[in-house]
């Protein structure tokens, strides 16, 4: 049976849209039961409603404390029967209590190859550092920002002449492929946390060929 999954957004929700599209496929192991936002005007709420998904707007400014907001948010998640929660551009720092409540059920995507470039301005920092490969990571959320057991990663080359916008667009394309795959691994039970690392049950032998950038001449 597909695991009931909620998605938390604050804006347009492009990763949310990728998850919604993936969940339509027959046999996909996650069912999206709720999309919630801390911003009532978030464009993603309309997109989710257009997919026939239940939506909730829980305005964080209406609550005196983070804990009060998260109590209301948790109530909506549990009312929807959510077993997993995916953060998709959810621009609120979560308290330790919320993270502990949803431990190993709360998933996030970050636009870098963690543990590199945690936090904000990841693409600008990658360009400034001169890295040749960057990417994105899906991980279980822990109390420390952008930390937690890594479920899956996608590598993206940094090309000559890239600016921040060009690199961000390339990484975002990778995010849209990676997040649905990572959610499927977790929802199906093929990915599980063992000793603060994620162990993945492989259906086929992995490809161990290295990704090299810039590519060799011959």
Catalytic residues: 110
Q: Shortest CA distance to 107 belongs to which of 88, 127, 129?
A: 88
Quickly count: other Cβ atoms within 10 Å of residue 150's Cβ: 17
Q: Shortest CA distance to 107 belongs to which of 55, 72, 66, 149?
A: 149
For residues 7 and 39, is the Cβ–Cβ distance under 8 A?
no
Q: Shortest CA distance to 61 belongs to which of 88, 86, 77, 40?
A: 40
Residues 6+ apart with CB under 8 A from 113: 133, 134, 135, 136, 137, 153, 155
């Amino acid at each position: 049976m597909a695991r009931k999954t909620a998605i938390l957004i604050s804006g347009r929700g492009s990763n949310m849209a990728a998850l919604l599209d993936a969940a339509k496929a027959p046999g996909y192991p996650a069912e999206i039961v709720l999309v919630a936002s801390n911003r009532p005007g978030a464009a993603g709420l309309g997109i989710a409603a257009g997919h026939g998904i239940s939506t909730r707007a829980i305005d964080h400014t209406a609550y005196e404390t983070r804990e009060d907001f998260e109590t209301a948010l948790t109530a909506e998640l549990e009312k929807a029967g959510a077993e997993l929660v995916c953060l998709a551009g959810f621009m609120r720092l979560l308290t330790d209590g919320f993270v502990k409540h949803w431990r190993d059920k709360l998933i996030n995507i970050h636009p870098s190859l963690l543990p590199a470039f945690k936090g904000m301005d990841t693409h600008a920092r990658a360009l400034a550092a001169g890295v040749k490969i960057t990417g994105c990571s899906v991980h279980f959320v822990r109390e420390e920002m952008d930390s937690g057991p890594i479920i899956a990663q996608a590598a993206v080359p940094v090309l000559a002449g890239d600016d921040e916008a060009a690199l961000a667009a390339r990484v975002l394309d990778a995010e849209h492929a990676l997040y649905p795959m990572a959610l499927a691994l977790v929802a199906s039970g093929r990915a599980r946390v063992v000793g603060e690392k994620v162990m993945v049950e492989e259906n086929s032998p992995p490809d161990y060929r290295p990704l090299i950038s810039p590519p060799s001449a011959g």
